[in-house]
Amino acid sequence: MKVTRNGDLIQLTFLPGFFPVNCYILEEDNELTLIDTGIPSSYQGIVKVIKELGKPLTNIVLTHAHGDHVGSLNKLKSNFPKVPLSISLRDSRLLKGDTSLDQHEPQTPIKGGIPKDINVTPEKLLEDSDEIGSLQVILTPGHTPGSISLFDTRSGAIIAGDAIQTRGGVAVSGQIRPLFPFPAMATWNKKQALESVKKIKGLSPSLLAVGHGHMIEAPSVHLQKSIDKAEENLNK
Ligand SMILES: [Zn+2]
């Protein structure tokens, strides 16, 4: 596990060489929020960092319900049973293994590793603009129908889950980067993914933190380039 801090945001990276998977701990004045839970073997590393920080964990939030983001969820919830779990209302269905689509949604198949063994029920079902501590929920569908980003209203950092990847080059979800094609292969709808990254860019984030790849400070230029590239590809 590799630990990288930027301000109040701590990035935990598992399998940094081959298939880097990030989860994050946001440090607040008196508490900690865990964002995503990595893969099953991430559990011990997550607990170690929480202990080192010496503040209570008060929230677990999922950016989306893919296997590489919910891997340690069962174990964490059994170790921290009183800590509420939050996920978007829409992706709470995916968390139960339900890949059905609503009539109003684009009828492209939901892809990626959908968990089959989650034995916990989320306490909070998130909608746009909901708040968890300093974090504001931004609905950013595309990678999955209910993907969210979390915007730190204190620092301007955004934790975008797999709406964007930075590993292998910054890319809108669904746009293949040959050096790291996996997030694109797991993306539900490229058009919605593009709209979501425009929404993220519109917030002028100070820091971009994603599920796969390093954090990027002042990411606006990178975001615009990735938007231009995705638009070009989608208009082909
Ligand atoms: Zn992922």
Cα gap 207→38, rounded to integer Å: 21
Q: How far is the CA of 206 from the centre of ligand 1 (A)?
A: 22
Q: How far is the CA of 162 from the centre of ligand 1 (A)?
A: 6
Q: With a threshold of 0.85, does the pTM exceed it?
A: yes
Q: How far is the CA of 103 from the centre of ligand 1 (A)?
A: 26
H, E, C per residue of 18-82: CCCEEEEEEECCCCEEEECCCCHHHHHHHHHHHHHHCCCEEEEECCCCCHHHHCCHHHHHHHCCC
pLDDT at res. 194: 98
Cα gap 146→142, rounded to integer Å: 8
Q: How far is the CA of 236 from the centre of ligand 1 (A)?
A: 26
pLDDT at res. 16: 85
- Name the residues around ion ligand 1, CB cutoff 5 A: 68, 162, 211
Q: How far is the CA of 113 from the centre of ligand 1 (A)?
A: 9
Cα–Cα distances (Å) from 147 to 22, 190, 232, in that order, read 16, 13, 23
List average pLDDT for each run of 10 residues in the chain, which is 236 residues long: 98 93 98 98 98 98 98 97 98 97 97 95 98 98 98 98 97 95 95 98 98 98 98 94
- CATH number attached to the domain at 2-234: 3.60.15.10
Q: How far is the CA of 129 from the centre of ligand 1 (A)?
A: 23
pLDDT at res. 17: 87
